[in-house]
Amino acid sequence: MVLPLAMGWRHLLFENWPVDPAVMDAHLPDALSPDTYDGTAWLSVVPFTNVAVRPKGLPASVGVRLPELNVRTYVTRDGVPSVYFFSLDAQGVASVLGARLFHHLPYYYARISLDAADGRVRFSSRRRHPGARPAHYEGTYWPTGEPFAAPDDPFAAFLVERYRFYTEAQDGSLRYTDVSHDPWTLSPAAADIETDTLLRSHGFARPDADPVYYYSRGLDVVASRSERAPP
């Protein structure tokens, strides 16, 4: 039995592009539907770092740090607003293998660095996973305005106030995990993204529209065990 995990998510950038729902639907498992805001689906890239990742119940001092980079979109199933992960690139080899084997998550090993200084975050990731499509992401991001509670803004709430995520396991089954945490606090943000081949690695053309950016200092999270979604 795999125990629930406790961790902290820190220094997150939510980089969000509008996408035609029909385009998004073609990239999703049949059991999931694109969730839309004002008729538009959204595709997001999220660089950040995990801190103190450990089985729930153990002290934070035994946890590990795990820089990470996600490609995700927003879906519904049975009326529950959720996240669907296309990929999760992470620094630690052991953590990537464990997440693939025991949590059925599409993790890929990558060389990642995250440095926060003078109000800016410098992030670099290059995928090194054997047999995987190459993906390189590099840039700097920073908050540009006052923090606000995400539930107070309908669009921000649509993007981040989601407490279930889905993935497709290697055997083709649909899996889900529930997460619990306090509501998000976000800030409007800006970014200078120098290199990004992540979307192309998943068969997406880079959207013509400019992305919408939000930054969060982070929060603490508990993630449940991975479960097979019922038919």
Rounded Cα distance, 45 and 139, in Å = 12
Domains and CATH numbers, the chain: 5-228 (2.40.400.10)
**DSSP conformational letter for 202:** T
Q: Which residues pair with 116 in a beta bridge?
A: 121
3-state SS class at 112: strand
Residue from 44, 122, 121, 52 nearest 88 by CA: 44
Provide the mean pLDDT of the chain: 91
What's this model's pTM, rounded to 2 decimal places? 0.93
Residue 15, pLDDT > 60, answer: yes
Mean pLDDT of 31-52: 96
* pLDDT band with cut points at 50, 70 and 90 for residue 95: low
**Buried b / exposed e along 142-152 (16+ C-beta atoms within 10 A):** bbeeeeeebee
Place of tokens 């119940």: 57
Residue 2, pLDDT > 70, answer: no
Residue 112, pLDDT > 80, answer: yes
Six token digits for residue 163: 């407490």
Rounded Cα distance, 132 and 201, in Å = 9
3-state SS class at 154: helix
Six token digits for residue 112: 């990642």
- Percentage with pLDDT > 70 across the chain: 94
Rounded Cα distance, 60 and 218, in Å = 16
Mean pLDDT of 184-188: 98
Residue from 11, 59, 8, 32 nearest 223 by CA: 8
Task: Please state the separation of Cα 79 from the chain's center in Å.
Answer: 21
3-state SS class at 53: strand
39 φ, ψ (degrees, to nearest 5)? 85, 5
